[in-house]
Structure 1
Amino acid sequence: MPKEHPEMVVLGAPQVSTSTTTTTINMPGEISQPDHVIWSTFNALFLNFCCLGFIAYAYSVKSRDRKMVGDMTGAQTYASTAKCLNICAMVFSIFTTIVFIIVFIYTL
């Protein structure tokens, strides 16, 4: 064999005499629980029918505080209450605005 070509060695699969074990840790990702603070702020500033927007804002802040503490069940309860109050404030305010517009048009 000429010296120009180096010897080629064919390697097989690695021979491992010990068995390896793997450990898998499932870490839950950060669960994003909405607290509706921005929606509550908007309702408190612009659609504050019978102070429902302000009360929704208070519940949203409570929900955010519960989330910071780590009480996700309490945060979800307060967020659900804030969501219901925001929906009520928005519906009542829009309905009242439409009624005022209709009454204003018909009184002219």
Structure 2
Amino acid sequence: MFSGEQEAAVMGEPPGSAPVKNAVIDIQMESPRRDHIVWSLFNTLFMNICCLGFVAFAYSVKSRDRKMVGDITGAQSYASTAKCLNICALVLGLLLIIILIIIVSTGSLMVLQALSELIQNHGGH
């Protein structure tokens, strides 16, 4: 008997059976990619210009679903689209806020100037 067969006989295996070979499979886990779901939720609630935040949120959820299934390529694709949509929503939202601040501040200055002229005209009578 060979040494493998002797070990098998000692362990209770029938004599003459082939020794068991173990295979080691090395599974490399890729680092989990970001799905940008928190950023998408923020944009959905606060910066939802032209529904870009909501669409980004939908793509983030799709990315998370693909990641849970194990489709890393699909998850990366959806996450990349969500990131682009989030950037667009954030930039457009910030531009809108800046424009509104400019309009409100210049409008209030015009109102104050008109009021001061009105007071000066009535005060001169």
Separation in 2 of the partners of 1:59 and 1:91?
Answer: 18
Q: Distance in 2 between matches of 1:30 and 1:74?
A: 14
Once the two structures are superposed, residues 69-106 of structure 1 have per-residue CA deviations (whole angstroms, 9 ceiling, x without a partner) of 11100000000000000000000000000001001111
d(CA) in 1 for partners of 2:25, 2:84: 38
For the aligned residue pairs, the C-alpha RMSD in angstroms reads 1.6
Q: 1:106 to 1:90 in 2, by over 3 A?
A: same
Larger Rg: 2
Alignment partner, residue 67 of structure 2: 67
Q: Which amino acid aligns with 1:35?
A: D
Q: CA deviation at 1:24?
A: 7.9
What is the one-letter code of the residue matched to 1:41?
L
Gaps of 5+ in 1: 1-22
Determine helix, strand or coil for the equivalent of 2:35: coil
More helix by share: 2
Cross-structure match for 1:98: 98
Alignment partner of 1:76: what SS? helix
Structure 2: any 5+ residue segments left out of the alignment? 1-22, 109-125
Matched, 1:80 2:83: no
Partner of 1:33: 33
Comparing 73-82 and 27-36, the one that deviates more = 27-36
TM-score (norm 1): 0.74
CA offset digits 1:17-68 (Å, max 9, x no partner): xxxxxx9864424521100000000100111111100000000000000001
Alignment partners' CA distance in 1, 2:43 and 2:76: 20
Q: Pairwise mapping of residues 2-17 of structure 1 onto structure 2 (< 5 A)?
A: none
Q: 1:75 is matched by which residue type in structure 2? A: A
